[in-house]
Every structure is written in C-alpha cells, then in structure tokens.
Amino acid sequence: MSTQNVISRKTILDIKKMKENGEKIAMLTAYDFGMASLIDEADIDIILVGDSLGNVVLGYENTLPVTMADMLHHTKAVVRGAQKALIVADMPFMSYQVSPQDALANAGRFLQEAGAQAVKLEGGKEQSEAVYKITSSGIPVMAHLGLTPQSIHQMGGYKVQGKKEDAAQKIMSDAKILEDAGAFSLVLECVPEKLAQDITSAISIPTIGIGAGVHCDGQVLVVNDMLGMYEKMTPKFVKKYANLSADIKNAVKTYIAEVKKSSFPDDEHSFK
Ligand code: KIV
C-alpha cells in the first residue's frame, strides 16, 4: 500500500483540544484565494470568511448589505486556497434571524456548496434555537457575543459591550446558553478583559477574542487590518504587523514612473 502525503485539515475537535491543552488558537479572516493560501501556508489554525468582507473588500459602511451570494462566492475562493486551516463562514445579516429553519438551510449551503467546515453567527439567547437546529443537524457553529456588528444600529455604534454589571451578566449567561445549544467555540468582540477572562473560565468551549484581552483561548483579527491594508478605520485593538498600504502605493508609484520613462520593461522582462 502506498503512503501518500495527505495534508489533513484541522477539525473542531483539534480546536477544542487546543483549549484543553492550554494551546492558544490563532484565527484570521480571509476573503480570497491568494490571501487564504498565504495565511494557510503560515499555519493559521482557523480562517474566518468574515462578513467584514462588506467593509474591507466590498466598500460598504457596515456588514448589513452583505448577502448569501457574496459570502458563498468568497468562501469558495478561500476553500480553494487553504488546505490545512479549519474554514468558518460567517452567516450574513438576515440569513439566520428569521427562523431556525432558514438558518439551517443557509448554514447547509456553506458546507454543501462552498466547502466550509463550520459557520459563525452573531447573537445570544435569542439565536440559541437557530444554533441548536444547525448543530443538531451536524453543522458546527461558532457563536459571537459582545459587539455584534450586524446589530450596529441597535447598539448605536461600535462600542465596548458589557461594561455595566447587568450587561456583563447577560453576556456571561448568553455564553453558557450558546455552549448548551451546541456551539463549538465563541468569538468575544470588544468586551472588558476581565469579563472575557471570566467567560473563558466558565465555559468549556474555546473563546476567541477580538478586543477582549489576552485571557481568551485564542485571538482573531481582520487580516486587512493587521497587515495595514485598510485605512478607513483602525480600532484600538488592531495591531498592525505590516504596513502594506504604504508598500502597495510605493510599488505602484515606482511602476508608473518606470512606465512613463520607458525603463519598464527592460531586457530582463522582454522576449528577444
Ligand atoms: O466578520 C468578521 O470579520 C468577524 C470577526 C471580526 C470576528 O466577525
């Protein structure tokens, strides 16, 4: 029997085990084949095809206009680019809120048509029926609490959530409800560090923080933010690990200048 070099993709069991073993989980977003290939080769644990697509790729003001068609299209490209990471697709606004049946049908499309391994959706107790319906049909769900950008108009802006005692208690209680409903992990966005730490200790599924401090089981950032490719808005929690906006603009300026003075293409880049 021949032994082939089969690359195995991370599963939700690997992710849960990382919490048990105290190994931190690194997650980044990606929206296309090229970026997915690069971050997969760098050994990222989870790739989230986030609906932040709306902001950083499609140029919308917020995530609300993002559709199922947009998300499926980009998830397919990411799946083609990444062979090792667990791929989670974000369920867009109105694809799961109307009914648990709708939620299941739309979640199924991400696995069946796009090749994702899991879906993510925003919200607490009010979405727990949808989470239960999806997970009990065999589709892994990543939950998302704290600042939930699809509720931007209800929240009145991108603000830290759970600062007051009653709000913190609601987020803690929602986290437990979502775990009971079958979620395999939980994103905590823009909540005080201490609340994220308490939730991380109180539930057995991994927490993945964004603006939620260092005590979460893992971290996530929007890839365009951390690579310095999105200049419209930089939240406090974003660390820029590169400054690609400047690199891209400099490269393009050099190209334009070389074209204008006919120094590109030179002999090296021409056929004789
Ligand atoms: O859409 C997204 O990128 C997200 C992350 C910020 C967690 O939901």
Strands (E), the chain: 25-29, 46-49, 86-90, 118-122, 141-146, 185-189, 207-210, 218-221
Q: Is residue 206 a contact partner of residue 178, using CB atoms and an 8 Å limit?
A: no
Count the Cβ atoms, other than its own, within 10 Å of residue 62: 16
For the cut 90, the answer to whether the pLDDT of residue 6 exceeds it is no
Ligand 1 centroid to 136 CA: how many Å?
24
Q: Is 189 considered catalytic here?
A: yes
Mean pLDDT of the chain: 97
Residue nearest to atom 2 of ligand 1 (CA): 50
- Give all domains of the chain, ordered by start, each with its CATH number: 12-241 (3.20.20.60), 244-272 (no CATH)
Entry pTM = 0.96
| Annotated catalytic residue, options 20, 61, 129, 189 | 189
Q: Which two tokens stand for residue 161?
A: 């959530």
Q: Which two tokens stand for residue 185?
A: 């992990």
Ligand 1 centroid to 2 CA: how many Å?
42
Please, which pLDDT band fits residue 3 given cuts at 50, 70 and 90? low
Residue nearest to atom 4 of ligand 1 (CA): 50
> How does pLDDT run across 146-159, given as a tens digit for each residue?
999 999 999 999 99
Closest of 170, 177, 217 to residue 197, by C-alpha: 217
Ligand 1 centroid to 60 CA: how many Å?
15
Closest of 23, 25, 24, 119 to residue 68, by C-alpha: 119
Q: Is residue 85 a contact partner of residue 44, using CB atoms and an 8 Å limit?
A: yes
pLDDT at site 232: 87
